[in-house]
Amino acid sequence: MVEKVAEMFYGGLAEDKILGAQCKDCKKWTFPPVTACKKCGSRNIIYKKISGEGTVYFYSTSMLPPKKFAKYSPYAYGLVELKEGPTFMTMIEGLDASTPEKIAEGNKELPLKVKAKVSEKAGMNVVVFKVVK
């Protein structure tokens, strides 16, 4: 089942669609999609396109990014809350993560609105958020 959800999610990204999971029982959204609701445990899940709209509340960078993302370093990685409710850590474009000082300054400007997009990174499609100005 997990493989089918991952296949559906990455298949959606290949078509420029960002999918989340919504529980039919309690209506809670989960992103990235999962096989069971994180709130009530139900497996009565539907997979739907998310709005992609969200808010970034905090960001930093990684001193030791995953090997396949090292060429993009330094990049901003922060806490985003989707309009649908889920929160998660993700890559964010439009925030300066070049030095600790720039990160500290940038965090003083938060929260900021962000919008999701599908981006090719390290040979794969990933969800990246961009600051909306």
Number of structural domains (the chain) is 2
- Helix, strand, coil percentages in the chain from 3-state DSSP, rounded to 5: 20, 40, 40
Answer whether residue 43 shows pLDDT above 80. Answer: yes
Could you tell me what percent of the chain has a pLDDT over 90?
Answer: 92
User: What is the model's pLDDT at position 21?
Assistant: 95
Answer whether residue 109 shows pLDDT above 80. Answer: yes
User: What is the model's pLDDT at position 65?
Assistant: 87
Q: What single-letter amino acid sits at 27?
A: K
Q: What is the pTM of this model?
A: 0.90
Q: Across all residues in the chain, what is the average pLDDT?
A: 95
Average pLDDT on 53-81 reads 93
Instruction: Record the tokens describing residue 120, joined without a space.
Output: 């090719």
User: What is the model's pLDDT at position 1?
Assistant: 67
User: What is the model's pLDDT at position 52?
Assistant: 96
Closest CA to 78 of 38, 48, 117, 106: 106
Q: Residues near 21 by Cβ (< 8 Å), separated by ≥ 6? A: 5, 29, 30, 31, 33, 34, 37, 45, 46, 47, 48
Q: Are residues 21 and 79 in the same domain?
A: no
Rounded Cα–Cα distance for residues 21 and 99 (Å): 36
Q: Are residues 46 and 90 in the same domain?
A: no
Answer whether residue 37 shows pLDDT above 80. Answer: yes
Closest CA to 31 of 17, 44, 19: 19
* Domain membership of residue 31 as a residue range: 1-50
Q: Are residues 101 and 90 in the same domain?
A: yes
Q: Are residues 43 and 58 in the same domain?
A: no
